[in-house]
Amino acid sequence: MAPAEPARTHRVVRPPILYAGTPVILLSSLNGDGTPNLAPASSYWALGQMLALGLESDGQTLANLQERPQLTVSFPSPPLWPAVERIADLTGRADIPAAKAGRYTHHADKFAAAGLTPQASDLVAPPRVAECLLQLEAEVRRITPGVTGEYAIAEAEVVRVHADRRIVADGDHIDPLAWQPIVYSFRHYFGIGEPLGARGGAVPERVDATRVDADREPASTFDLVAWELEEAGGDSACWLASVCPECGAMREGDGPCQRCQADPPA
Ligand SMILES: Cc1cc2nc3c(=O)[nH]c(=O)nc-3n(C[C@H](O)[C@H](O)[C@H](O)COP(=O)(O)O)c2cc1C
């Protein structure tokens, strides 16, 4: 019997981008003068200890990896999406490529532009992003030009993984209940199940540090502290005032955060 005519539930569309939802990563590579470059990316997958990264051909990151084949891959948690967005339209290339003219500007220190802190790596030269709970050090093993010439695929071997102790379970495992990536889906940033903001839209000056949903699993360093606190039956108001809303570190005293220098919460 001939197959039934399918219901006409779909239409043919031509979306300009096909980012259905991959984690946002921050790639740190080394410039020729020894300074680090930081770039958001999301074309990423991992198999075993190998990573495959899709990189634009005209970016500083690819140029750096071709010359100095080491990088770090740091995974920002949802509260850090504004830091990602702050450097979304910046390039480390002093000579802005034609395709980016008018939209992108050059910035030599994207760690500073993002408000993020470089943290020395153990085995590779580029620094990690201190505020990220999950960080990989990797060596590039192969770079393959893409079909269209617009991108290349870098394959890199992870040589060391750093995980904040609060997202580690059973010795060597990342606890998915404690850890959340930012998911980049059709130019919007999401936590798992929760929209954060739109690419190119308004970016809050500061993250909302007062909102804690006690019924859901911890979604960030900030939530995690609140969650641990509730588990311990503590006084949230007392502890939460000590958590930096920008980077999630526990602050000491009443002054700026010792890690990221952000002002204390109001
Ligand atoms: C959320 C997000 C995801 C991105 N994903 C990628 C990606 O997977 N690969 C890539 O090459 N560029 C990606 N970009 C664009 C680069 O970050 C951008 O072109 C940047 O200027 C590159 O910086 P660089 O020239 O200093 O390397 C992404 C940007 C954003 C904001």
Task: Say which range, 18-32, 35-49, 237-251, has the weakest mean pLDDT.
Answer: 237-251
Here the tokens at position 247 are 């980077």
pLDDT over 70 at 253, yes or no: yes
What ranges make up the beta strands (E) of the chain? Answer: 22-23, 25-30, 36-41, 44-47, 50-56, 70-75, 90-91, 105-106, 118-119, 128-129, 134-145, 151-163, 168-169, 173-174, 183-185, 188-190, 195-198
Distances in Å between the Cα of 242 and the Cα atoms of 44, 87, 231, 232 are 35, 28, 18, 17
- Which residue is closest in CA terms to ligand 1's atom 7? 41
Domains and CATH numbers, the chain: 22-198 (2.30.110.10), 206-266 (no CATH)
pLDDT over 80 at 88, yes or no: yes
Q: Is the CB of 55 under 6 A from ligand 1?
A: yes
pLDDT level of residue 259 (50, 70, 90 thresholds) = low
Ligand 1: centre distance to CA 60 (Å): 10
pLDDT over 60 at 27, yes or no: yes
For the CA of 187, the nearest atom of ligand 1: 1
Q: Is the CB of 186 under 6 A from ligand 1?
A: no
Residue 132 has a pLDDT of: 98
Residue 207 has a pLDDT of: 62
Q: Is the CB of 61 under 6 A from ligand 1?
A: yes
Residue 250 has a pLDDT of: 57
Q: Give 224-241 pLDDT, tens digit per residue.
A: 444 444 444 433 334 455
169: enclosing H helix or E strand: strand 168-169
Percent of the chain with pLDDT over 90: 64
Residue 220 has a pLDDT of: 46
Ligand 1: centre distance to CA 246 (Å): 22
* Residue bearing the bigger pLDDT, 224 or 213: 213
C-alpha to C-alpha distance for 222 and 244, rounded to whole angstroms: 8
Q: Is the CB of 179 under 6 A from ligand 1?
A: no
Residue 223 has a pLDDT of: 44
Q: Is the CB of 93 under 6 A from ligand 1?
A: yes
- Which residue is closest in CA terms to ligand 1's atom 25? 59
Ligand 1: centre distance to CA 49 (Å): 23
Q: Is the CB of 88 under 6 A from ligand 1?
A: yes
Percent of the chain with pLDDT over 70: 77
- Which residue is closest in CA terms to ligand 1's atom 13? 41
C-alpha to C-alpha distance for 176 and 180, rounded to whole angstroms: 7
Residue type for 71, please? Answer: L
Q: Give 142-198 pLDDT, tens digit per residue.
A: 999 999 999 999 999 999 999 999 999 988 999 888 889 999 999 999 998 544 567
Overall average pLDDT of the 233-253 stretch: 53
Residue 226 has a pLDDT of: 41
Q: Give 115-149 pLDDT, tens digit per residue.
A: 999 999 999 999 999 999 999 999 999 999 999 99
Overall average pLDDT of the 108-114 stretch: 98
